[in-house]
Structure 1
């Protein structure tokens, strides 16, 4: 039971950190979407005299949402989907009234029309949802006419599209921030692993393993942010010249994912070894040095600056990872795993794969390191 409580505590701490990061990154997009919803309602209410223009707010919020990866093209597609659903629902309700049969039929029609017009899943989903809402709810704004709610949806979508073009942001910002958080998590994992090895405490090492397993969500978020940034650079002429930097962040994400997987294996092997009462010798000193280097690398990735300091620190770690210098097969097996992890991090600094392997004493050796995802530098 104490072990389970420790695992819950570690998981809660990791989730709290990730939650704070999500709130921080969503703050400006949510504020922007809220302002867009208010403006859309004001236009419909004041400009057109619609009494209850809540579809204007719904359309603005659905199109912009809370993601910092807002793309005008995607917003336009969602605006069209919402307007299509509301328009079909409005027309169907005006001609045939409301009821269970009408809702089923209008959903069927709206979804098929949406699938014909666009391949996007969200486009079809929003078309169907808005059609259901329009047919299922009474026309509360009678004064706005038979197509009032459709007009409100068009206004909301148009305002969202306008706001998306001016949403403050750099497509590199979020991938960098998420990359920094992932690498800080890796540094914390290595720090907890170091403590466990020094104290001979398998529970601390298991805490490190739990924390390492909890990094998959931020890694997936990082990968999604990179994909969105790549789409932005393809669409926006202003950011097209940054496509190379986004490609580097994409490679960095792959390497960081690989490094954390290696850290999980390292923690799992270390926990077994500590339970068997082995002497870690100088291994904790090297895991500590790796933790410090990973933290330095996190700052470089987060700021987009040169990773020379982290590269130097990692090269120093690599110079001390000669398996023959460690006693016993357990120490040596941990060192071999650390060599693979260090190779990934060296590539993250922009070092070519062959050069990273050659950094270790005695040449590349056979440390099980995977080949590089590409030949371009990551940071």
Structure 2
């Protein structure tokens, strides 16, 4: 067994959009395995938009990544050494190894996987945190009712595609918003959305709103918010009274850095935003999925059979090589990925 590993650390904090030189690839010694610990060789790790926020030195729901510290993130891989009876070499597991070839974890920080039941990559996507996020946000905070209209931002990502497909299963009209014709075709042809609008075809929120009106003639009952920016500006005036907005993310603003003063937010002023919420009696609920994993078994009971039956589909965008993670992550923040973005380590 090798005694060295590779990892990517945060070399400097980005000012706006991350650059490749904000990251550094290192070769280091694998730490000694302590009592009750498990050594995992990563096969794949996940790239997710939330990681951008952790690169800033700003207070948030999770601690920021320190300079020279490992880029954090979930991974799936194989146990190659263990000092814990719960895991033996050859087992597969999900854990937080970060952007690295190897990681050490305790059993409480791991979930055992059975590759015979589902590909291990699904634990990072459709059956993992992103899929669960979409299911929970829609079902618990969106309160979907048959016949309603739901609009989904970032429609073809692993969160948005889950939202749309579960909504369709529950009898809602589903309209997606995505970046590019290829993604819009994926939303309708692969995921079964009723319609999808390419936000890149519209320079401003007003024109995007007019396009939305054509596909939402009865208004919008639920807006699953992944985006912010002009998409939120386009949607808000079309929300029906007592509409619901599960607030999951705001990728259009992430590269602002610390989400402070930001020219891109000037047109969506606080008075306008609060007035819309007030006069339409909207329910806006921000949520962090790590606070709700007690509902994960319920998610698996509903979605697992739907995947097996072909009712819920998923797409994976796999980039090979640890060294290519920074460029892939930068692309994720500008919508270049097609589906759940993963890095294949081996």
TM-score (norm 1): 0.23
More strand by share: 2
With normalisation by structure 2, the TM-score equals 0.24
Greater percentage in helix = 1
